[in-house]
Structure 1
Amino acid sequence: MPLVLSILREVRDPRDINARHDLAELLFVALAATLCGAKSCVDIAEFVEGREDELKEIVELKHGCPSHDTFSRVFRLLDPEELSAALSAFVLALRRELGLGSPRGVVAIDGKALRRGYEK
């Protein structure tokens, strides 16, 4: 996890100097929650609350669990291109660690087939 946190630390924090929660930690727990199915800031906050002990083994969460308002505010303020670049660097580092080569092409996913829209 130090690799992920070091990549996420490269994202510029747009909040004021008095921000309580570390931005890299917020992004890490949001990424973990999203990978586990969270679809909103409320879902992310509930994920963190429900797994606080496990997450504290990886990140500090010095000021406890961030609220859904904190996640919402952070995501409104972040530069989307900067976050995209950090997440791309994370995926490339993950592929490298897993011994996978460079990605080839794009995987197209048909939303209608996933939702079984063809059956209606």
Structure 2
Amino acid sequence: MVEQILTIFREVRDPLDFSAHHDLCEMLVLVLCGLLCGEKTCVDIADFAAGHEAEFREVLVLRHGTPSHNTISRVLRLLDPRELKQALAACLSAMGQSLRSGAVLAVDGKALRRAYEAGQRHMLPLIVPLSKII
């Protein structure tokens, strides 16, 4: 699955290709994983990537380690939004096809206590975080 995502992200034009320190494809994988795991800012994504660097190194090279939040922010601002949207849509489609073909995605859900509507006590809302995609 990671190879398929990297192939999709290789189609995105790198705005810093002549001076890039980090591989754009790998950075976009880190960003995608961070977003899928609930990270909301570039600082959160950079912290998430650094905290899971050992796991990411199992599937990515990360020649210069994980990028800083400044690097992530700068690169995301310079990317063509249409290109990025197209690549992300292709990645999500590939993940969906993988799951439909029999792959298993393990999730850990939690019931939200005392978060039910009056009369709906038997139907507690659930939250299901996607904690690990790779």
Distance 1:3 1:18 in 2: 26
Distance 1:13 1:29 in 2: 16
Partner of 1:56: 57
For residues 86-119 of structure 1, the C-alpha deviation after alignment (integer angstroms, 9 at most, x for no partner) is 111112222222227xxxxxxxxxxxxxxx9xxx
Provide the aligned C-alpha RMSD in A: 1.4
Distance 1:36 1:92 in 2: 18
Moved over 3 A (4+): none
Partner of 1:90: 91
Cα distance change on mapping 1:16 and 1:5 into 2, 3 Å: closer
Unaligned runs of 5+ in 2: 102-114, 116-134
Distance 2:17 2:33 in 1: 25
Distance 2:5 2:17 in 1: 24
Q: Percent of aligned pairs with the same residue? A: 51
Distance 2:17 2:7 in 1: 21
Aligned to 1:98, the other structure's residue is in SS state helix
TM-score normalized by the length of structure 2 = 0.71
Partner of 2:41: 40
For residues 57-103 of structure 1, the C-alpha deviation after alignment (integer angstroms, 9 at most, x for no partner) is 11111001210000000011001100000111112222222227xxx
Distance 2:49 2:65 in 1: 9
Normalized per residue, which structure has more helix? 1
Length, aligned pairs only: 101
Unaligned runs of 5+ in 1: 101-115
Distance 1:92 1:16 in 2: 27
TM-score normalized by the length of structure 1 = 0.79
Q: CA deviation at 1:16?
A: 4.5
Distance 1:43 1:49 in 2: 10
For residues 15-55 of structure 1, the C-alpha deviation after alignment (integer angstroms, 9 at most, x for no partner) is 14021100000000011011111110000110011111001
Distance 2:17 2:97 in 1: 35
Partner of 1:11: 12
